[in-house]
Amino acid sequence: MTCYPSSPKDEASRARLMKKFHLALLGALCLQLTGCISYSHQQQADASAWPIPLNSAKPTVSLKVDTDYQFNGTPSQRGFNLPSLERLLTKEYQSSQAFEQVALGLNTADVYAKVKVSNHETGSMLLAIISGATLLVIPGTFDNEWIMETRFFDANGKEQGRVVKREITTTWTQLLLVFALPFNESTDEILAKLARSTLEEASQRKLL
């Protein structure tokens, strides 16, 4: 079998294919190495005692959960998975061991808790575009203010009091931040901390 030397045209075509392959490989590598890290500003302290110690009989509680998401001051429908949020709050109320029963939308209960969870997000759209255009070589950042407002009502529907807890988180997205992922603070952890602090204050103020 006779082997013929490649023509300059074939060499150029092969070089273009190799260049495309290398670019695709680099893009895939960048996607694999892309990460983000979120951290809280620790404005809200953890509950000092958990579960909550109670000296009285445990009441039943009915939860109603609402949400509010805003980006740079503009309300939006996205931002929350309501069923997931309801499950998280129900779990925290149950783990407090302060209630005989915790459920969503009970018709009859000793305590009615109306919880509004807000996420007010702020960030630069221009920086986000630049960050994306550079495959996150230039980092992007945004802040989230998490607000949990809970109003407690007695069995007759009379409001007993209101508790508001806040926390701010900052998120950075950048190439290679994947190595910081083990130290990432999740949204669920932030919301759980706000719920626990809420119940601790409500217990201290005898709102339960």
User: Is 24 inside any structural domain?
Assistant: no
User: Is 13 inside any structural domain?
Assistant: no
Q: What is the CATH number of the domain that holds 121?
A: 3.30.160
Q: How far is CA 105 from the centre of its chain?
A: 24
User: Is 19 inside any structural domain?
Assistant: no
Enclosing domain of residue 42: 35-204
pTM summary value = 0.76
Which of the 8 DSSP states describes residue 24?
A: H
The span from the CA of 153 to the CA of 21, in Å, is 64
The span from the CA of 63 to the CA of 105, in Å, is 6
pLDDT lower than 50: segments of the chain: 1-5, 22-34, 177-184
The span from the CA of 143 to the CA of 72, in Å, is 10
Torsion (CA) 78, 83, 86, 90 in degrees, nearest 10:
-160
Q: Which amino acid is at 80?
A: F
pLDDT of residue 173: 74
In the block, tokens 């407090």 appear at 96
pLDDT of residue 172: 79
* Domain tally, the chain: 1
User: Is 78 inside any structural domain?
Assistant: yes
**DSSP character string of 142-160:** EEEEEEEEEEEE-TTS-EE
pLDDT of residue 44: 87
Using CA atoms, how far residue 158 sits from 20, 42, 153, in Å, is 68, 33, 5
pLDDT of residue 11: 61
pLDDT digits (tens, 9 = 90+) for 121-178: 998 776 666 666 665 556 678 899 999 999 999 999 999 999 999 999 998 775 554 4
The span from the CA of 8 to the CA of 5, in Å, is 9
Three-state DSSP class for 175? strand
User: Is 4 inside any structural domain?
Assistant: no
User: Is 30 inside any structural domain?
Assistant: no
User: Is 12 inside any structural domain?
Assistant: no
User: Is 6 inside any structural domain?
Assistant: no
